[in-house]
């Protein structure tokens, strides 16, 4: 669902860039209009300060690849060789331009991810124990009273379990790295 919202935002930016208010999602996948698409990507994935939103930029790249592959499959099923060839050209264009448009953002995302795994980025042991105690207390509050849960209570219980599992798995990973 979030991919569709992202693609819709890209279409709107593409329409602004081209001045064509009737441009469709298929038009954004036209290899002949790749420069306008590139400008639309830049307008969406740039902060007010001029910096890139690297995670968003990488997501846009993968959404474009996926959309083009889906459209290519659709045209193959419809036996429309010309449009299928156009989608193939668009995919080739994405692959050729990936290193220029998306790769720097992808590398920065990977560097951030590895930086988060370093012990210096880990929370203090005291903070972890406070968080663990809070989760236990909240789970006990939910379990000690026997009552039918509504959806909000269920979501709260699920979130507590997920937080507990995430914290448990993170502690196991840290102990392995030591």
Could you tell me what percentage of the chain is helix, strand and coil, using 3-state DSSP and rounding each to the nearest 5?
Answer: 80, 0, 20
Please give the pLDDT value at position 118. Answer: 67
Integer Cα distance of 142 and 134 in angstroms = 13
pLDDT (0 to 100) of residue 117: 66
What pLDDT shows up at residue 172? 55
Q: Specify the pTM.
A: 0.66
Which regions in the chain score pLDDT beneath 70?
1, 116-123, 170-178
CB burial of residue 169 (10 Å; 0-12, 13-18, 19+): exposed
């Amino acid at each position: 669902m979030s991919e569709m919202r992202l693609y819709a935002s890209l279409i709107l930016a593409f329409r602004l860039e081209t001045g064509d208010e009737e441009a469709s999602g298929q038009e954004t996948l036209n290899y002949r209009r790749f420069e306008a698409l590139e400008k639309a990507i830049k307008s969406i994935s740039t902060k007010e300060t001029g910096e890139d939103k690297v995670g968003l930029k990488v997501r846009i790249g993968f959404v474009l690849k996926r959309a083009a592959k889906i459209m290519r499959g659709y045209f193959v099923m419809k036996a429309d060789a010309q449009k299928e060839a156009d989608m193939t050209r668009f995919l080739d264009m994405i692959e050729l331009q990936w290193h220029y448009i998306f790769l720097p953002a992808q590398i920065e995302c990977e560097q951030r991810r590895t930086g988060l795994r370093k012990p210096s980025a880990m929370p203090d042991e005291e903070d972890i124990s406070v968080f663990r105690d809070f989760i236990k207390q909240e789970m006990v509050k939910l379990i000690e009273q026997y009552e039918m849960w509504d959806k909000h209570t269920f979501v709260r219980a699920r979130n507590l379990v997920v937080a507990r599992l995430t914290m448990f798995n993170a502690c196991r990973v840290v102990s392995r790295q030591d």
